[in-house]
Amino acid sequence: MALEILMPALSPTMEEGTLAKWLVKEGDTVASGDLLAEIETDKATMEFEAVDEGVIGKLLVAAGTAAVKVNSPIAVLLEDGEELGAEIVPQATATPEPTAAKVSSAAPIEAAPIKNGTRVFASPLARRIAQDKDIDLSLITGSGPKGRIVKADIENAHGAVTASEPKASQPVAMPVQTDPNDITKLYAGRSYTEVPLDGMRKIIAARLTEAKQTIPHFYLRRDIHLDALLKFRSQINKQLEKRDVKLSVNDFIIKACALALQQVPQANAVWAGDRVLQMEASDVAVAVAIERGLFTPVLQDAETKSLSSLSSEMKDLATRARSRKLAPHEYLGGSFAISNLGMMGIDNFDAVINPPHGAILAVGAGVKKPIVTEYGNLGIATVMSVTLSVDHRVIDGALGAELLSAIKDNLENPMAMLA
């Protein structure tokens, strides 16, 4: 039976992508795990694997085609010995309809049902066959790539016939739409350049609109004295010269936040719709600006890593983020984020929370300011203004203040972060 290969959802936010390059041609025989194509998502270029075996009967979408909708047909897969007839060639431009013959040869990010806290990954064809045969996918061990359940696993299953419960539909927060024609009419007769939105900019617009509409933000502000940190950083960088390591102020901020999340563990949490997930490790996301967008790569287990390790990992993630070479697991997740515009001369600002994070720290520039010392005298200090944006569903005011106080104490006593 001819099967349609559908455009996969290679990231949770992907709605369309560019079919950058085919790695197979018509007539090629493919097996589970073979690479079929390179897909440019809203975040990165990723390889697309087959999870069913067969022969490539027809490529419906040419390499280089942009804005291919998720779940639209891009190729036809035939069984061995089957010929491609006109009646089974789908129209690539038609809106895809759900039929028994339509499956993707790569499982999208959205997985099969969750049972006992574990996700069950299966190809669409395997799910359809399992549904027809009333087979519980959670009772089957997958033999496909990364443990995915494929057609052969279902056909070889015996006795696993307890039907899984149907998934309840999840509400989706839809961003407010503005008719673009109404906007352009306002500027009739004025000169402008129309810049089309790429996938990343569309996702940023939708997610931040959702964040500001649905997350009850509140803001906490503190001034942090950096002189002790700057002196300590200068000393330690001299000692690290032979290892070709140079720590930045941002490296210390990452470490300070990671330790603060351990010192105030109730604040190390994310919003999960109908519950709060309190995390054990400090997985800290850091905003990285790229051309026409941004990434938030995640430094996992940041509280356990040395400053030099954090510095090296952050440089690597930032470099690959700017070339859009990050894998989804490197920029998804985390419970806390840092956005540092101080290096661009911004004194202070309020950052928007990146859901499902519980908070984000907006970091301003270190500026020399007059202060009153602890002895009541006037003095000069390097002062950095920070603002903690907090999700009130996850963290209350007093708890947020405790977290920000811990971050401040860590940065003003940098040697203690090495203890």
DSSP lists the bridge partners of residue 78 as 55
Q: Is the dihedral of CA 79, 83, 86, 92 positive or negative?
A: positive
Tokens of 201: 């900019």
Nearest Cα residue to 338 out of 382, 383, 402, 283: 283
Q: What is the DSSP letter of 265?
A: G
In the DSSP assignment, the letter for residue 414 is G
Strand, helix or coil for residue 65: strand
How, if at all, do strands 276-278 and 269-271 pair? antiparallel
| Catalytic member of 158, 217, 357, 392 | 392
The sign of the torsion formed by the CA atoms of 389, 210, 106, 295 equals negative
Please answer whether residues 34 and 50 qualify as being in contact, where contact means their C-beta atoms are separated by less than 8 angstroms.
yes
Looking up tokens 């006795």 gives 159
Residue 230 CB neighbour total at 10 angstroms:
15
* CB-based contacts of 191, cutoff 8 Å, min separation 6: none
Rounded (10°) angle between helices 227-239 and 249-263: 110
Q: Residue 105 belongs to what H/E stretch? A: none
Is the bond preceding residue 8 a cis peptide, omega within 30 degrees? Answer: no
Is 329 among the residues known to form the active site?
A: no
Closest CA to 338 of 296, 398, 304, 279: 296
50 φ/ψ angles, rounded to the nearest 5 degrees: -80, 145
C-alpha span between 119 and 296 (Å, rounded): 25
Active site residues: 392
